Amino acid sequence: MIAPFALGGFAVLLARLSPQDSEANLEVSIVEFDDTGGKIGAVVRKKVTHSDGDWRRQLTAQQYWSARRGTTDTPFTGTYYQSEATGLYRCVCCRNALFSSQTKFDSGTGWPSYTSPIAAENIYTQPDNSMFMHRVEVLCRLCDAHLGHVFDDGPPPTGLRYCINESALRFTS
């Protein structure tokens, strides 16, 4: 006889091994933008899911570890944190529009920083209590990529600082 706890544990294990199967038919609402930052409009899209192996093949090692595994880029090592180019920052995994250069600012932290997302619908946040601190994680609504964290020490008008990993972004101008 198999104990009920063992069956429950097996079900949890299966769910963790293949999350893309349980999310394959989920739909999300996002706002689409063209590459110049022009708003196209609200749409419903099928959630972007891939196996871990597919993500590894699609992304560079740094992109994979940052966007899919939640690690943090080393500060002051990229180019986006100091870029003043006009354009749009998209998710490296699914091309969802995330941030506009119009809300970008130099936070002095070594990571690209923004006062707000291009559309609140395109991201979501959740508590992150890792590394012995309380933070708020920022993720892509369309594919669940880890983008970075949001802090309440930013400039006006929002007072927020979206501190985002460069390796989770793709710039288009």
- Give the residue numbers annotated as catalytic, written as ranges: 163
- What sign has the CA pseudo-torsion 46, 91, 140, 60? positive
Residue 173 CA: distances (Å) to CA of 51, 56, 89: 30, 26, 9
CA-to-CA distance for 99 and 88, rounded, in angstroms? 6
